[in-house]
Amino acid sequence: MPHPARLPAILWTNVNMLETPGFAFTILAFLLVLGPLVFVHEYGHYIVGRWCGVKADTFSIGFGRKILGWTDKRGTEWKIGWLPLGGYVQFAGDRDAVSQPDADWQQLPAEQRSHTFPAQPVWKRALIVVAGPVTNFLFAILILASFAWVGGKLVTPPVAGGIEASSAAAAAGLQTGDRIVAIDGRPIETFGDIPMAVAHRPGEAMQVRISRGGSEQVVELTPRLVKAKDPFGQEYERAIIGLAPPAQQLQSISLLEAPAVGLRQTWQIVRQTGEVLGQFLTGRRSIKDMNGPVKIAEISGQAATLGLASLIFFIALISINLGFINLLPLPMLDGGHLVFYAYEAIRRRPAPPQAQEWAFRFGFVAIVTLMLVVTFNDLGSIGVWDRIARLIG
């Protein structure tokens, strides 16, 4: 996944060193994270498909051989596969789980054909496809809004409560009491926006607009990379500028205000995810920093160990990442389908079948390659390759 699957450091505040969760507990936590998110994503496709009059043949959580399943009165088979790393909805007229048209869908009787996916106008197909990622975002917004409404929001003004010696902030001449207005044009409204803006940008010069004594000025500073340990004793890296936060205040959030809070937090995570992806694409960040299923499973166990609230927050974080990734313009992903639908809408005809076939082959190879790379990274991060090297040596 483009965004490092790491629990925000704020969840570790005042947490003593914890034991690493066991294998069985980690697997259970992983399933509790991934299962609902896959269901939410696929249900978005399914329910909008129903609204559009498209019949769903299969709704699957997981891939591979069915371990549990049933067929409802509409003729949709609901099943759970043995490999819980995703899911799919296969609509009538689809050849496979990635919505490539069946060659024989046009030979169906008119009544049946009208309820197939390929027979729908392009705007309906696009709406059905985009519904999955959008549902992931809405699910995350609901979680974050609920947290804000139930527990309130800790408000920390973006003011320097202290300056760390020999830090980037000290070198730039920042002083205690300075208010951070913007970083590289990104408005800063709370102190928590500051680490969101700099944590993934070590070594990059940044323009920081500050307010001091009633006037504003712009300073340039470069965040430095530091290593820290989480409550499970594992090292992680992040960039800091060396500001200490001021005193926090708990602000109550009304039910009407809560969705806006959830939307804002979701947008912050989407924006940071996009920035990190841009770093991978431009070579400013190594592909070794990408996380995959193994790392997500590990952090799922850690989040569950920290408590139910941490686990639910992590579910929201992964839901946002899942929605973001699925909108990438890669064939086999929802974003790839949307690219073809955009072409069809502009040219008034679908892309040539051969072009679509080759695009899906490329997408399959790209996704499999990426999964192998991130799994290799994950195994290295938990010490598998080091242990193998010691055994061989």
- Reading the block at residue 69, the tokens are 């399943």
Question: What DSSP string runs through 166-210?
Answer: TSHHHHTT--TTPEEEEETTEE--STTHHHHHHTT-TT--EEEEE
Q: What are phi and psi of 326, to 5 degrees?
A: -70, -15
CA distance 372 to 199: 27
Handedness of CA 28, 33, 36, 42 (dihedral sign): negative
Question: What DSSP string runs through 46-112?
Answer: HHHHHHTTPPEEEEEEEEEEEEEEEE-TTSPEEEEEEEEEEEEEEETTBSSTT-PBPTTGGGS-HHH
Q: Does residue 171 fall inside a structural domain?
A: yes
Q: Do 245 and 125 share a domain, yes or no?
A: no
pLDDT tops 80 at residue 16:
no
pLDDT in the model for residue 139:
97
What's 16's DSSP letter?
A: P
CA distance 12 to 314: 13
Q: Do 185 and 289 share a domain, yes or no?
A: no
Q: Which residue has the higher pLDDT, 130 or 332?
A: 130
- Range(s) of the domain holding residue 298: 1-52+120-143+257-393
pLDDT tops 80 at residue 153:
no
Q: How many domains does the chain fold into? A: 2
Q: Does residue 104 fall inside a structural domain?
A: no
pLDDT in the model for residue 385:
67
Does the pTM of the predicted model rise above 0.85?
Answer: no
List the catalytic residue out of 19, 42, 216, 275: 42
pLDDT tops 50 at residue 12:
no
pLDDT in the model for residue 4:
44
Q: Do 203 and 324 share a domain, yes or no?
A: no
Helix (H, G, I), strand (E, B) or coil at 228: strand
Q: Which residue has the higher pLDDT, 97 or 355?
A: 355
Picking from 238, 160, 169, 168, the residue whose alpha carbon sits closest to that of residue 199 is 238
Cβ count near 284 (within 10 Å): 14
Question: What DSSP string runs through 308-366?
Answer: HHHHHHHHHHHHHHHHHHHTSS-TTSHHHHHHHHHHHHHHSSPPPHHHHHHHHHHHHHH
Q: Do 189 and 277 share a domain, yes or no?
A: no
42 is catalytic: yes
Residue with tokens 């995350």: 140
What's 6's DSSP letter?
A: -
Q: What are phi and psi of 215, to 5 degrees?
A: -125, 160
The residue-averaged pLDDT of 247-262 equals 87
Which of 106-115, 129-138, 240-249, 354-363 ranks highest by mean pLDDT? 129-138
CA distance 284 to 300: 28
Q: Do 351 and 319 share a domain, yes or no?
A: yes
What's 159's DSSP letter?
A: B
- Reading the block at residue 183, the tokens are 């970083």
Q: What is the pLDDT of residues 313-370, one digit of tens each?
A: 999 999 999 999 999 988 888 999 999 999 999 998 888 888 888 888 888 888 888 7
- Reading the block at residue 367, the tokens are 């996704």
The residue-averaged pLDDT of 262-276 equals 89
Helix (H, G, I), strand (E, B) or coil at 227: strand
Q: Could you give the percent of the chain with pLDDT greater than 70?
A: 89
Q: Do 246 and 297 share a domain, yes or no?
A: no
* Chosen domain end from 195, 223, 251: 251
Q: Do 244 and 261 share a domain, yes or no?
A: no
* Chosen domain end from 217, 251, 285: 251
CA distance 259 to 134: 15
CA distance 175 to 98: 55
Q: Does residue 92 fall inside a structural domain?
A: no
Q: Does residue 76 fall inside a structural domain?
A: no
CA 106 to chain CA centroid, nearest Å: 38
Q: Do 363 and 278 share a domain, yes or no?
A: yes
Q: Does residue 164 fall inside a structural domain?
A: yes
Domain CATH code at residue 233: 2.30.42.10
For 183: left if phi > 0, alpha if psi spans -120 to 50, otherwise beta; the answer is: beta
pLDDT in the model for residue 42:
95
Q: Does residue 109 fall inside a structural domain?
A: no
CA 64 to chain CA centroid, nearest Å: 24
Q: Do 45 and 128 share a domain, yes or no?
A: yes
CA torsion 85-7-186-203 (nearest 10°) is -100
Asked whether the beta carbons of 97 and 60 are under 8 A apart, the reply is yes
Q: Does residue 161 fall inside a structural domain?
A: yes
* Chosen domain end from 251, 277, 297: 251
Q: Do 222 and 125 share a domain, yes or no?
A: no
Q: Do 10 and 46 share a domain, yes or no?
A: yes
The residue-averaged pLDDT of 90-115 equals 77
Q: Which residue has the higher pLDDT, 18 or 374?
A: 374
Q: Does residue 93 fall inside a structural domain?
A: no
Q: Do 167 and 136 share a domain, yes or no?
A: no
CA 75 to chain CA centroid, nearest Å: 33
